[in-house]
Structure 1
């Protein structure tokens, strides 16, 4: 039995486990929305890896226990419209999930650190992300990694309105 999970790039055969982990983690956090679009999770390789991004999984004893990815921010993306002074070439961190049975062991932090390292290798100037205000564990992780909250708004378009927070972290000195 392994003690530490192995972080590796997503493979197409990971699809079912990745979608299951997403739903499990979001339900556990009380933020799963049935009507939210998850088309990127149906086409992970095309959306992230083929699209100049990255998607990593953390595997332990044959099971995926954590995941996360990033992709370039397009000017038509919602986040591009609300992040002040968004740098060209910025990426959006997304789909950071840890299986509830494996939380608080540093797996999410390790996935994030590997993603940031890979973003830096691509000369990415800035990482942005959004999360719900009630996802306090995620917010603690991002803030501990140097992210700064830059936008907050109430989203009313769902059965259960929520507060959305947007964070960013520069990876290069823009001065």
Structure 2
């Protein structure tokens, strides 16, 4: 079980470390400019009314993260959903995703989008199990990704 709380500027180094671990396992250059929003969470997520959540273990160590980025009225994107590789398959990603969806509903979001790399099969399964429908594949900043969408009630 993890404790989920809002992001703090003190979390930045821990979030970047988890990101590097997760993306390296996906065989992607983890320091690509596409990912630098993790270093600018207040401006990229919070300033636009979104959310960024952190999941910590009993000892307070950051194990998981995820963001809700507002795109336009009624639309948002789930981004940077990551779980430390040593703690995957324990439901932590599900907890972060569920909390972000709850926040989206509170904000009046009607449509959620997200993308994942084609080789991140665990993420794809998580999204499909949560009612996300796969849309067209795309290339974003040079990465082959799958786009998913979920309509919120």
Q: TM-score, normalised by structure 2?
A: 0.92
- Cα RMSD (Å) of the superposition? 1.7
Instruction: Tell me how far 1:163 sits from its aligned partner.
Output: 3.0
User: 1:91-170 counterparts in 2 under 5 A?
Assistant: 91-153=76-138, 155=139, 158=142, 163-170=144-151
The aligned counterpart of 1:62 is: 60
Q: Higher Cα Rg: structure 1 or 2?
A: 1
- Structure 1: segments with no counterpart, 5+ residues: 75-87
Separation in structure 2 between the aligned mates of residue 145 and residue 19 of structure 1, nearest angstrom:
26
Separation in structure 2 between the aligned mates of residue 19 and residue 36 of structure 1, nearest angstrom:
13
Matched, 1:46 2:27: no
The aligned counterpart of 1:89 is: 74
Q: TM-score, normalised by structure 1?
A: 0.81
- Structure 2: segments with no counterpart, 5+ residues: none
Separation in structure 1 between the aligned mates of residue 148 and residue 39 of structure 2, nearest angstrom:
26
Instruction: Tell me how far 1:50 sits from its aligned partner.
Output: 2.1
Separation in structure 2 between the aligned mates of residue 37 and residue 53 of structure 1, nearest angstrom:
19
* Residue 129 to residue 98, structure 1, CA distance change in 2 (3 Å): same
For the 8 Å contact 1:11–1:45, the answer to whether it is kept is no
The aligned counterpart of 2:152 is: 171
More helix by share: 2
